[in-house]
Amino acid sequence: MAHTASRKPPRVGDSPIFRRSLIGVVLILGALLIVAPLLVIGHEAFKQGWKVYIDTLSHPDTRHAIMLTVITALIAVPVNTAFGVAAAWAITKFDFRGKRLLLVVIEIPFSVSPIVAGVAYLFVYGLQGLFGPWLDDHDIKILFALPGIILASMFVTAPFVARELIPLMQAQGRDLEEAATSLGASGWRTFFSVTIPNVKWALLYGVVLCNARVMGEFGAVSVVSGNIRGQTNTLPLHIELLYHDYQAAGAFASASILALLAVFTIIAKVALERRGAGRRKTLSDAAAPTGP
């Protein structure tokens, strides 16, 4: 009777045949949809040899596209990191009117198509836009130049850091910050000595994802950049131009850089997840009672 009571009802997938079949289907789809394209990119990039690969990447237009992509990331990622930290700190550590509205605003870039975002910037900073005439009178160029590319990239990637920090900081609560404040620590001292160390792995995780998205962004940047070869083309846009010009070797060589970035992002993502999981486990073990 006790044995019958201890038996648990069967779960979906408990059958070994079903479980192995499901894993096999996932592996096959992953190989076809993810691994195979990466292998094709690597094969086509080096198909004509290292010399052609190096010559392609050393072309002035390709080097400019890479440089423009790096510059965009060096500006957009730190700004979005600061925004994400400030937004997460405000939402999780303070009570104020409009908190839910701020959460909705942070989520907007995930709900809006990047191309729609690019078109919206045209209606704000374009010649026929809200600030276009004033910008033109003062000879300030936003669209079809570096500032427009940075703004579009910042809009698309704005939520990444905040989304990683907010759930963790909400789970941690305010006890540590309040304890530090009660001991005489200033607000900035509490922030740098208590808040940031407790969320550093989630912060790095968000930065990695934000950087990968900035370097790979296509839709919004394609609208605001003008696709001017050698001037306003980031690496994804440059790949499209090479492909349309039937320069397959150059397109795949340039695409291999983004593919390597994706691989490094996955490796960093897994490493940070392990560090974060280990850290959370350590904190939970430390918080658990050790005896009666």
Give 53-62's long-range contacts (Cβ < 8 A, gap of 24+): 53/249, 53/253, 56/249, 56/250, 56/253, 56/254, 57/253, 57/254, 57/257, 59/250, 60/230, 61/229, 61/230, 61/233, 61/238, 62/238, 62/250, 62/253, 62/254
Mean pLDDT of 96-119: 88
Mean pLDDT of 134-157: 90
Contact (Cβ atoms closer than 8 angstroms) between residue 261 and residue 215: yes
Using the predicted structure, report yes or no on whether residue 11 has a pLDDT greater than 70: no
| Per-residue model confidence as pLDDT tens digits over 140-150 | 888 888 999 99
pLDDT at 276: 61
Q: Which helix (H) or strand (E) holds 275?
A: helix 248-287
| Per-residue model confidence as pLDDT tens digits over 44-74 | 888 888 888 888 888 899 899 999 999 999 9
Contact (Cβ atoms closer than 8 angstroms) between residue 259 and residue 215: no
| Per-residue model confidence as pLDDT tens digits over 176-189 | 877 888 887 777 88
Mean pLDDT of 146-172: 90
pLDDT band, residue 210 (cuts 50/70/90): very high
Report the C-alpha gap between 112 and 120 in whole angstroms.
11
Using the predicted structure, report yes or no on whether residue 23 has a pLDDT greater than 60: yes
